[in-house]
């Protein structure tokens, strides 16, 4: 078992390069199943979710060559089975994208219910509704999803809930369907645009990604033979921006798209941080204690739920009492108990948490309850006095490339220890 040991307090200073977006990459990889050929994908984050995605694709018959640790060439001409390996698909959430992609490619898929962070109920009814409207039969037996379609027919689908996963999954299924599919009330996250851009580069006809109406005109085939670079990760970027705030530091982020960070920049300024925006890089610094704030998580372009725990660390240290309302995931305040062990004063009640700001945190043994909670604990440990031992770090490794290396380069005293 490995843990991260962080000894603080440290004021983080310097430059960090942002990796490719996990939540785009975990959709682009299964999207390659729609291609009858080869393609090259660059700027993949070097994280465990990507390694598992690649293993799953290989088990289905894809051939993957690693050009370097962030680039693969993938040949999906010889997909040989429609049964996804349960031991791997149960390890992460994005395995649900195999349904849309394989329905499009093979007309059939058998896959276990997806795993991933325990953030409360994570239904996939909107995905299933979309597939069924396109003409698929979907059933669920003993934790396995069976989906089958003779031919998918384009149609109009209104999403009852704004869902990142359902929007992308239905888009995947619609790319090779007969006729036009219209997704209304679609999610608008940058990774949705990125998946659409990837598919269009490979020969798809998708318009409107990034707005709430997406139109997909079915095409005969995706030709591949192209190279695509994954968009920078706006959640990793936001994590470092908030780390600058929590440690009263000064961090410049390279390789980011600052347009994707508007809601975070606005909150950083509101709590007294400073931002210099250069378009593809950004400097964030803070020279005094952050001010209190009120935050509600929302689908993009609102404040992202995936930065809520990291913001929670900042507000734990702010002057005054702050409030966060979590509107996406019912169990995303589990990290608050861990921060309380470090001296924070947080009361979580259902979807709302109250942060009575303290002057400083102290080190403690803490448990990473999910991916973003883990990132929040690394920030808290860096800001806190003394030693923080962070356990369950496999959650962090799922989504952050070389987190200890990046924090260390910014001055943090952090090491990975095997117990
Ligand atoms: N929902 C339904 N039915 C559905 C789908 C979603 O009721 O069929 C609900 C969910 O329960 C939730 C809301 O709709 O309350 C939004 O869920 P969404 O489908 O957008 O989430 P997701 O696609 O499962 C992705 C990210 C999450 C991120 C959310 C919200 C991936 C692989 N995961 O999940 O990322 O929190 O969107 O932005 O893209 C993370 O990276 O740490 C993470 C959890």
Query: What average pLDDT score do residues 82-92 get?
Result: 86
Indicate if the alpha-carbon torsion angle 130, 132, 135, 141 is positive or negative: positive
Nearest 5°: phi and psi at 208?
95, 0
The last residue of one of the domains, among 197, 229, 261, is 229
Question: Judging by DSSP bridges, how do beta strands 321-325 and 352-356 pair with one another?
Answer: antiparallel
Q: Find out whether the beta carbon of 125 lies less than 6 Å from any atom of ligand 1.
A: yes
For the chain, the domain total comes to 2
Same domain, 249 and 188: no
Whether the predicted pLDDT of 6 surpasses 70: yes
Whose tokens are 């089958």? That residue is: 148
Q: E strand or H helix at 14, and its extent?
A: strand 13-17
Instruction: Decide which of 114 and 316 is more confident.
Output: 316
The last residue of one of the domains, among 214, 229, 244, is 229
The least confident of 64-68, 116-120, 183-187, 289-293 is 116-120
Same domain, 151 and 239: no
Whether the predicted pLDDT of 388 surpasses 80: yes
pLDDT band of 115, cuts 50, 70, 90:
low
Ligand 1 centroid to Cα of residue 362, in Å, is 33
The tokens describing 161, both together, are: 């809930």
Same domain, 304 and 159: no
What tens digit of pLDDT does each residue of 222-243 get?
A: 998 899 999 999 999 999 999 9
Q: Find out whether the beta carbon of 266 lies less than 6 Å from any atom of ligand 1.
A: no
Whether the predicted pLDDT of 320 surpasses 80: yes
Same domain, 142 and 290: no
Q: E strand or H helix at 308, and its extent?
A: helix 308-316
Same domain, 74 and 141: yes
Query: What average pLDDT score do residues 406-413 get?
Result: 98
**Long-range pairs, 56-64, Cβ under 8 A, ≥24:** 56/30, 56/84, 56/85, 56/88, 56/89, 56/95, 56/98, 57/29, 57/30, 57/32, 57/33, 59/84, 59/85, 59/88, 60/33, 60/84, 60/102, 62/32, 62/33
Percent of the chain residues past pLDDT 90, beyond the cut = 91
Supply the pLDDT for residue 200: 97
The least confident of 48-57, 118-127, 172-181 is 118-127
Same domain, 186 and 93: yes
Same domain, 213 and 334: no
Supply the pLDDT for residue 116: 60
Same domain, 37 and 149: yes
Supply the pLDDT for residue 400: 98
- CA dist 336 and 338 (Å) reads 5
The last residue of one of the domains, among 229, 246, 275, is 229
Whether the predicted pLDDT of 78 surpasses 90: yes
Same domain, 255 and 388: yes
Q: Find out whether the beta carbon of 372 lies less than 6 Å from any atom of ligand 1.
A: yes
Supply the pLDDT for residue 112: 85
Average pLDDT, the chain: 96
C-alpha dihedral, 59 to 61 to 66 to 72, nearest 10°: -110
What tens digit of pLDDT does each residue of 9-55 get?
A: 999 999 999 999 999 999 999 999 999 999 999 999 999 999 999 99
Ligand 1 centroid to Cα of residue 262, in Å, is 20
Same domain, 164 and 255: no
Q: Find out whether the beta carbon of 163 lies less than 6 Å from any atom of ligand 1.
A: yes
The least confident of 52-56, 120-124, 307-311 is 120-124
The answer to whether 81 and 56 have CB atoms below 8 angstroms apart is no
Query: What average pLDDT score do residues 161-166 get?
Result: 97
pTM of the model: 0.97
Whether the predicted pLDDT of 118 surpasses 80: no
What tens digit of pLDDT does each residue of 271-288 get?
A: 999 999 998 999 999 999
Single out the catalytic residue among 39, 54, 117, 256: 117
- How many CB atoms are closer than 10 A to CB 229? 17
Q: Which atom of ligand 1 is nearest to the CA of 299?
A: 38
Same domain, 208 and 318: no
Q: Find out whether the beta carbon of 53 lies less than 6 Å from any atom of ligand 1.
A: no
Whether the predicted pLDDT of 121 surpasses 80: no
Q: Which atom of ligand 1 is nearest to the CA of 120?
A: 11
Indicate if the alpha-carbon torsion angle 88, 94, 96, 98 is positive or negative: negative
Supply the pLDDT for residue 120: 63
The answer to whether 367 and 343 have CB atoms below 8 angstroms apart is no
Q: What is the CATH number of the domain that holds 293?
A: 3.65.10.10
Whether the predicted pLDDT of 113 surpasses 90: no
Q: Find out whether the beta carbon of 18 lies less than 6 Å from any atom of ligand 1.
A: no
Query: What average pLDDT score do residues 373-395 get?
Result: 97
pLDDT band of 92, cuts 50, 70, 90:
confident
Same domain, 29 and 10: no
Supply the pLDDT for residue 11: 98
Q: What's the full length of the chain, in residues? A: 419
Ligand 1 centroid to Cα of residue 65, in Å, is 30
Whether the predicted pLDDT of 123 surpasses 70: yes
| Boundaries of domain holding 309 | 2-18+232-418
Q: Find out whether the beta carbon of 188 lies less than 6 Å from any atom of ligand 1.
A: no
Whether the predicted pLDDT of 405 surpasses 70: yes
Supply the pLDDT for residue 259: 95
Q: Tell me if residue 117 is catalytic.
A: yes
Q: Which atom of ligand 1 is nearest to the CA of 330?
A: 15
Query: What average pLDDT score do residues 361-385 get?
Result: 97
CA nearest ligand 1 atom 28, residue: 306
pLDDT band of 266, cuts 50, 70, 90:
very high
């Amino acid at each position: 078992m490995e843990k991260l040991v962080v000894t603080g307090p440290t004021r983080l200073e310097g430059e960090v390069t942002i990796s490719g977006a996990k939540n785009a990459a975990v959709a682009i990889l299964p999207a390659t199943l729609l291609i009858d050929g080869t393609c090259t994908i660059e700027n993949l984050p070097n994280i465990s979710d990507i390694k598992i995605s690649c293993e799953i694709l290989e088990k289905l018959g894809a051939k993957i060559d690693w050009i370097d640790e962030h680039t693969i060439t993938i040949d999906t001409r010889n997909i040989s089975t429609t049964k996804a390996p349960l031991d791997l698909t149960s390890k992460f959430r994005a395995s649900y994208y195999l349904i849309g992609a394989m329905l499009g490619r093979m007309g059939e898929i058998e896959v276990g219910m997806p795993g991933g962070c325990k953030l409360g109920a994570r239904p996939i009814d909107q995905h299933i509704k979309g597939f069924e409207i396109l003409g698929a039969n979907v059933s669920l037996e003993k934790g396995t999803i069976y989906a089958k379609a003779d031919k998918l027919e384009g149609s109009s689908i209104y999403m009852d809930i704004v869902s990142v996963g359902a929007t992308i999954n239905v888009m995947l299924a619609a790319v090779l369907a007969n006729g036009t599919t219209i997704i209304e009330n679609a999610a608008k996250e940058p990774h949705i645009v990125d998946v659409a851009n990837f598919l269009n580069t490979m020969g798809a006809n998708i318009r409107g990604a990034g707005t709430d109406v997406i139109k997909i005109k079915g095409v005969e085939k995706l030709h591949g033979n192209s190279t695509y670079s994954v968009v920078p990760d706006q959640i990793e970027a936001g994590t470092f921006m908030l780390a600058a705030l929590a440690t009263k530091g000064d961090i410049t982020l390279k390789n980011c798209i600052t347009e994707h960070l508007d809601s975070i920049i606005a909150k950083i300024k509101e709590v007294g941080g400073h931002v210099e925006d250069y378009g593809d890089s950004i400097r964030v610094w803070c020279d005094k204690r952050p001010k209190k704030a009120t935050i509600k998580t929302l689908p993009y372009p609102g404040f992202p739920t995936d930065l809520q725990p990291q913001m929670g660390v900042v507000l734990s240290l702010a002057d005054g009492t702050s409030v966060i309302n979590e509107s996406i995931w019912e169990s995303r305040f589990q990290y608050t108990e861990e921060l309380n062990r470090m001296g924070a004063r947080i009361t979580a009640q259902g979807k709302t948490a109250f942060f009575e700001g303290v002057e400083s945190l102290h080190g403690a043994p803490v448990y990473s309850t999910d991916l973003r909670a883990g990132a929040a604990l690394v920030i808290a440990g860096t800001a806190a006095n003394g030693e923080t031992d962070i356990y369950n770090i496999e959650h962090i490794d799922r989504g952050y490339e070389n987190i200890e290396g990046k924090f260390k380069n910014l001055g943090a005293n952090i090491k990975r220890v095997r117990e």
